Structure 1
């Protein structure tokens, strides 16, 4: 049992759920939410803050500022509270209430953007707001998770090696695409590994990360309205796009077996099952990364009225988590 004095010092990195008894195909789900921030974003937050400290960008007077749909904001709130920094998170109206309340409980400020940019959507409007803050006060330090190489480096150094140690015969890895920090860090690691590993990105329909038409997305976490600067598609072997209705079905199917995961995890699981269904019975060692847990989604993904308003009355009547998978 570890004894810690800083919350970011604890992060369970070696827990997997075998999903074969719940879904149609064998899949090991790497659980990344068992830390004091509740998501995989703690790794990127630690790496970005510590790099900024080493580079001399942060001083006792600095105010950290970041655009986040929720999870990174919570992770930075944890670290800022522990290290004594002020932190301001710029989010939007899709951010879960629980995430906003957690940030505020940890002493952070939260600005909620409600009007999308005509081109960049809510993400573009959030970034414009961050840049305006930085322009008016030099104390603000924007870590910029969308372009910061430390975002992907955290997963190159920690997440991917942990998977490699546990699964030396890995065939395929499924990674959700948000900022693409996790995706690119893992993809670069496995590109030079001792055996070929297919890296499959899982995105949401309505996201423009891998092209396509922008559309409404109500579940925060994965997907973007602007192409992430970190993304290098040459490292990605395949892309699966998931409808939000299928995300919800996957989350509820997991919950019926006692596993309460977040919306990003439901998307990754649904996309992975859709991809595996097309492999014609090939025996593959497959791992998917579960970025988050489900407590922050109790008022949305797990709330019947919200689900019905978003997807219709019969969305939870189907047992299939992948009713309409789309591949890039």
Structure 2
């Protein structure tokens, strides 16, 4: 085992689950949740913070600020705590309460947006709040995961080549689409180095990322209510859209076999299942899907019996004070 000094130095890169035994699905699931942030977002967080430090954007007295539905906020909390930065996460009412408490435990401050923007949804409201705060106080340094090239470069450098090393004969890769950092980093790498690999984006029904009709989404992480600036559809071969009940069913089926994954992972696996069912004649395909997170933070949502039909609107955790 490695000996580390900072939490970002550890990330399990080589763990895959063969889903043929658990789901009868010819799919290898790359598990990205085994690090101190519990999700794939640790890679992007480290890349973006390191670049901000290198470029002199972070100075004594600076405060990192970022909009996040949860996982990136936790990852930035881990990085900020380990490197001595202050951090304010702007999230919204769909964020799981355990995730908020985890960020607080790491020393971060959290501001919860309770009402969506009329046109941009919760994401639009979060972005407006961050923009206003940065305009009013020069201490705040916004990494802006939605436009920051470090978001996709992290996966171009690490995630994609790791998959290619393990599966040199890869035929199809399934990647969930949120900010599209993971998607764009992997798609760009495979386009450059393994052009025969088919990259399939998995999106949530209700997301507008690929021109879909906007709708209510309860599972945080994948999908957006504002078109993602990082997205370049020319690198994406296909898009599969997943209904949230299907994602929840997949999560619970996996849990029934001892694998507790997060809502984003359930969405990606459900999308891969749809695609593979349509291509069942190609029996010798090598297929990999990226699992962004684990399931402990979803015990009160995805894994609670009756959710989300027993919730009229996302419960709003108490808004916490920002940095004075």
Contact kept, 8 Å, 1:154 with 1:185, in 2: the verdict is yes
> Partner residue of 1:20?
20
Tell me: CA distance 1:278–1:310, structure 2 relative to 1, closer, same or farther (3 Å): farther
State how far apart, in whole Å, the 2-side matches of 1:53 and 1:78 are: 16
> What per-residue deviation string (whole Å, max 9, x for no partner) do you get for residues 33-57 of structure 1?
0000000000000000001111110
> Partner residue of 2:286?
285
State how far apart, in whole Å, the 1-side matches of 2:106 and 2:148 are: 24
> Partner residue of 2:70?
70
> Partner residue of 2:132?
132
> Partner residue of 2:304?
303
> What per-residue deviation string (whole Å, max 9, x for no partner) do you get for residues 273-304 of structure 1?
00000003202000000000000000000011
> Partner residue of 1:88?
88
Contact kept, 8 Å, 2:263 with 2:302, in 1: the verdict is yes
> Partner residue of 1:233?
233
State how far apart, in whole Å, the 1-side matches of 2:280 and 2:75 are: 40
> What per-residue deviation string (whole Å, max 9, x for no partner) do you get for residues 126-170 of structure 1?
000001110111010000000000000000000000000000000
What SS class does the counterpart of residue 21 from structure 1 fall into? helix
Deviation at 1:194, TM superposition (A): 4.0
> Partner residue of 1:320?
none
CA-based RMSD of the aligned residues comes to: 1.1
State how far apart, in whole Å, the 2-side matches of 1:87 and 1:227 are: 26
Q: Residues 157-306 of structure 1 correspond to what in structure 2 (within 5 A)?
A: 157-282=157-282, 283-306=284-307
- Structure 1 segments of 4 or more deviating over 4 A? none
What SS class does the counterpart of residue 57 from structure 1 fall into? coil
State how far apart, in whole Å, the 2-side matches of 1:173 and 1:193 are: 14
State how far apart, in whole Å, the 1-side matches of 2:6 and 2:138 are: 28
Please list every run of 5 or more consecutive structure 2 residues that lacks an aligned counterpart in the other structure.
Answer: 313-324
Tell me: CA distance 1:174–1:120, structure 2 relative to 1, closer, same or farther (3 Å): same
Contact kept, 8 Å, 2:187 with 2:199, in 1: the verdict is yes
What SS class does the counterpart of residue 303 from structure 1 fall into? coil
Contact kept, 8 Å, 2:218 with 2:308, in 1: the verdict is no
TM-score, normalisation: structure 1 = 0.93
Tell me: CA distance 1:132–1:195, structure 2 relative to 1, closer, same or farther (3 Å): closer
State how far apart, in whole Å, the 2-side matches of 1:212 and 1:168 are: 34
> Partner residue of 2:321?
none
Please list every run of 5 or more consecutive structure 1 residues that lacks an aligned counterpart in the other structure.
Answer: 312-328
What SS class does the counterpart of residue 23 from structure 2 fall into? coil
> What per-residue deviation string (whole Å, max 9, x for no partner) do you get for residues 191-239 of structure 1?
0224500000000000000002100000000000000000000000000
